[in-house]
Structure 1
Amino acid sequence: MSEPEVGDPLSPERFQAFIEQHGYLSWLNLTVEAVGDGYVEMRIPHDEKLVNPFPEGFERVHGGIAATLVDTASGFALRTTFDDPTDANLTTTDLDVSYLRPASDDLVATAEVVRAGGSMGVVDVTVESRKPSGERTEVAVGRASYRLFR
């Protein structure tokens, strides 16, 4: 993916500005890592406030954080299919998340549009984290459907 030009409607900075104005997403410290046509990569850094209250040494990120990332990355990926991504109007109609293994580090979601029609859109998302060994691994996969208001 090439570097975005100044004023590029698909620049990560334009999408990040939306997140900074959103209470919940900014509280999660969500960042937009990459944006392309039908594609978004986002990251939520590991933070103690996001882990389940398990015994010390067994802290795992709450599954709802991965689900939020699937939903948010899907919506942002679909925004790239609009003429003006920052002014897109859409809403989640279905969200499915399958958890593969616990996460104990940053979460990184890669979202790719499967279909963006006139009124409906579908996106597949993979959420990855790092194992204690440092290896990046899938921790969840998801699919979201959206109603698009074009």
Structure 2
Amino acid sequence: MDEDVLDSVQAVIDDHDFLSWLGVEVTEFEEGRAVLSMPHDQKLTNIVEGSRGTIHGGVTASLVDTASGFALRTTFADPTAPALTTTDLDVTYLRPARSDLTVEAEVVRAGESMGFTDVTVFGETPGGERKAVVKGSASYRLFRESQ
């Protein structure tokens, strides 16, 4: 997708109170794929002793959901104004998320009425190694007739 489309999709996030509050940015947006990033922020971490500094699981689940929706947007004629909604979300936590995050979502299938994605959220280990912190998948109801 061209730079204008990327800017338009980022504007959708910037206009969304929750996603803009999280600091989500679209870094790649191409047919069947979306890559988003989110900076580590202390306000998003767990309050449980021993887990302080780790990003709350609800935040990473939101990233799986959001990246899925944006990957599926690439299958619509106008990716800035699709009609779609989550029908199922599966999140598996692999390790604590303690750094800035990158989430990569790929469309597995996008039909006329349903779409399916596979998602990985990556973070950085204390040693600086890039590792998967969350694996996820989602299904969405796609309302193509509204376009």
The 5 A counterparts of 1:134-145 are 134-145=128-139
TM-score by length of 1: 0.91
Identity over the aligned pairs, expressed in percent?
55
* CA shift for structure 1 position 6: 5.3
1:27-51 deviation digits (Å, cap 9, x = unpaired): 0010001110010000110000011
- Hey, what's the Cα distance between the residues in 2 that align with 1:77 and 1:103? 22
Unaligned runs of 5+ in 1: none
**What residue in structure 1 maps to residue 9 of structure 2?**
15
- Hey, what's the Cα distance between the residues in 1 that align with 2:28 and 2:120? 14
30, 33, 40: which is aligned to 1:36? 30
1:84 aligns with 2:112: no
1:129 aligns with 2:126: no
- Hey, what's the Cα distance between the residues in 2 that align with 1:6 and 1:52? 36
65, 68, 72: which is aligned to 1:71? 65
- Hey, what's the Cα distance between the residues in 2 that align with 1:68 and 1:6? 25
* CA shift for structure 1 position 5: 3.7
What one-letter code is carried by the residue in structure 2 that aligns with 1:15? V
* CA shift for structure 1 position 57: 8.3
- Hey, what's the Cα distance between the residues in 1 that align with 2:93 and 2:119? 12
TM-score by length of 2: 0.93
- Hey, what's the Cα distance between the residues in 1 that align with 2:80 and 2:115? 17
SS for the counterpart of 1:86 is coil
- Hey, what's the Cα distance between the residues in 2 that align with 1:147 and 1:42? 21
What RMSD in Å do the two structures reach over aligned CA positions? 1.4
